[in-house]
Amino acid sequence: EAISSINFPINILVFDACLMQTTEVITEIYEYCDIVAGSELSVPKDGIFYGAESGTACSQYGLFNYISGNPSCTPTELSNELVFRYINSYTTNCQYGSTVSFSAIELSSYSSYLNKLNEFTRTYSDTIYSAIYHDAHSNCLLISGENIDVWEFFNEVSFIDKNVQTAAEDIAALVDSMTIAFSALYHDVLYPELGRMSVYFPPNKYYFNWELYYILDFTGLTEWDRFLSYYMGNFSDSPDINEFVVASVSEMVNFSWEVVATTDLFYKLYYKQSPDTSFIQIQDSSITHATSYSSQFETGNYEFKLQATDEFGNTSSDTISYFISTDNIFKYYPNPYIVNEDNIGKFLISNEELTDSAIYIFNLAGELVDKITIDNTIEQTIEVTYTPPNVSSGIYFCLLKAGDTIATIKLAVIR
């Protein structure tokens, strides 16, 4: 958010913290800078070697030493030097660390990389490829217990199976072409497959925190979470229905929903009019990807159900009771209202506009005895629970103000 708010072009964005050169991090910021540099590994406490006194042995590895001596260098030249000097500051003992990496990634083709990765996950996310991916994963260095290098993984995949060879090679080649410079040491030994950028790839589902991972831009653009779900096998978590909304205009009912899951979702809508009957599927309501649906119903009370099913057959559902009418409605039930502890009264309101709405309740003398403010809502039909306060038996006038609508009803209270 801070980076996106900088109203100035960024040539190079450099991270001096651990595990920042990941494709997930880069996806969040690639539109705001030309080059991103950082480490896909943990960074030793010394971090980037910013500089040393001119003329000393270590000054040849200082970042600011280079900038001061080459003030007109290009961003690409500076990126090359940054990687070279970072690694060599550790190999020459100007700083201390035996496992280090650094890279500079040029981002003009990054959206093409995301598209290519999404093509791969859409085409090759299937359990029939699990053995290939497990073999490739086992040949890669596991970074911090849950990441692997993107180039290393797809390079391994391309050697293991000819069916996915071309697609895997294309991704590895794109990553390579975007990489201005990179280097990595693993326990003081050069590791040529490592160092470009990593991706979240936990070894099994027990490390897969998909609820947090789902919200990243990267997962929305590449569906990598879906790929991981297939890699790990039958993921047992059911879809999470965050929201299911029913609204109507006259007899046209609009359904909308928000559901979170790691794989593609399939939706079905059902209805029933009586509590003792079975749900009936709404015709043509089998939906993939869409998050809304409309259908026409006759006036009456309904119970609607949304069922969400993922690619592994895990299912979740949510139900809503709803009243449909062609007319504006303002009713109270039960009416008359008999005061007792078990009796729950409700206003039923149906109107096209329910913003800034309120119900005013008056006695026969015209005195205001109660006011109910209705929260703003996009729904056109709602129920408002209301139990009359300690009032005497008699007739009360209820006035609804909703947008341009004014409606009144009489409410009988019996004690």
36-87 tens-digit pLDDT: 999 999 999 999 999 999 999 999 999 999 999 999 999 999 999 999 999 9
Are both 248 and 226 inside the same structural domain?
no
User: pLDDT tens digits for 288-332?
Assistant: 878 899 999 988 889 999 999 998 889 999 999 888 876 667 889
Are both 291 and 398 inside the same structural domain?
no
First to last CA, the chain: 60
Are both 15 and 104 inside the same structural domain?
yes
Those residues whose C-beta lies under 8 Å from the C-beta of residue 383, and which sit 6 or more positions away, are: 323, 346, 347, 348, 349
pLDDT of residue 328: 65
CA distance 223 to 197: 18
User: pLDDT tens digits for 258-287?
Assistant: 998 888 899 999 999 988 899 999 988 888
Confidence of residue 387 (pLDDT cuts 50, 70, 90): confident
The CATH number assigned to the domain holding 267 equals 2.60.40.10
Say whether pLDDT at 161 is over 90: no
Are both 265 and 348 inside the same structural domain?
no
CA distance 100 to 42: 7
Are both 209 and 279 inside the same structural domain?
no
Are both 161 and 256 inside the same structural domain?
no
pLDDT more than 90, % of the chain: 62
Q: Which of 197, 232, 267 is the last residue of a domain?
A: 232
Of 11-15, 104-108, 397-401, minimum mean pLDDT range: 397-401
CA distance 80 to 381: 63
Calculate ∠ Cα 64-69-71, nearest 5°.
Answer: 85
Give the 3-state secondary structure percentages of the chain, helix then strand then coil, rounded to 5: 25, 35, 40
How large is the average pLDDT for residues 372-400? Answer: 85
Question: How many CB atoms lie under 10 A from the CB of residue 217?
Answer: 14
pLDDT of residue 341: 63
Are both 355 and 209 inside the same structural domain?
no
Say whether pLDDT at 218 is over 70: yes
In the numeric block, the tokens 């500079």 are attached to 104
Are both 84 and 174 inside the same structural domain?
yes
> Which residue range is the domain that position 308 belongs to?
236-326
Q: Which of 303, 326, 349 is the last residue of a domain?
A: 326
User: pLDDT tens digits for 34-46?
Assistant: 999 999 999 999 9
Q: What would the two tokens of residue 381 be? A: 């039909």
Question: How many CB atoms lie under 10 A from the CB of residue 235?
Answer: 22
Say whether pLDDT at 252 is over 80: yes
How large is the average pLDDT for residues 169-183? Answer: 98
Q: What is the largest CA-CA distance in the chain?
A: 99
Q: Which of 326, 343, 361 is the last residue of a domain?
A: 326
- Our count of domains for the chain comes to 3
Are both 53 and 76 inside the same structural domain?
yes
pLDDT of residue 216: 92
Are both 320 and 402 inside the same structural domain?
no
Are both 183 and 296 inside the same structural domain?
no
**Full-model pTM:** 0.72
Are both 77 and 138 inside the same structural domain?
yes
Say whether pLDDT at 234 is over 60: no
CA distance 350 to 370: 21
pLDDT of residue 135: 96
